[in-house]
Amino acid sequence: MNQDSEDVTGKPIGFYSPATELITNGRKKTGEPFDLTETGKFLDGIFAKVQSNSILFDTTDPKKKEVLKNLLTDDIFGLQDNDLKMVIDERLSPFLLNYYKTKLI
């Protein structure tokens, strides 16, 4: 989300306006994609919670509602397909194989 400024479907999350460029004294330029790093609380607060049949992604940032209302998409929490594949290949598969080898054999 932060590096590519895209939601989980690959769509842009938003772009800075002329007003933002003025407010930030040019630090954020008109038309640049949102990076959600203004205070760092939004990205630093992102977490994943494993539930019985799903994984919940959210943030602890108290300004979450304010941040979300300014985005072009609601689909910012989660993984894009390539990131999901990486998690499966690098984390889940090795864990399951190790579990199978040590607990079930």
> Which tokens belong to 5?
């400024």
Strands (E) located in 7-90? 46-50, 55-59
pLDDT for res 11? 87
Concatenate the DSSP letters of all residues of 25-87 into one string: TTSS-TTPBP-S-SSSHHHHTEEEEE-SS-EEEEE--TTHHHHHHTSS-S--SS--HHHHHHH
Residuewise pLDDT in 10s, the chain (105 residues): 556 788 888 888 889 999 999 999 999 999 999 888 877 788 899 898 988 888 888 899 999 898 888 888 888 888 888 888 988 899 889 999 999 899 877
pLDDT for res 97? 92
pLDDT for res 2? 54
State the DSSP H helix or E strand holding residue 69, giving kind and residue range, or none if neither: helix 64-69
| Domains of the chain, residue spans | 18-78
Q: CB neighbours (10 Å) of residue 76? A: 23
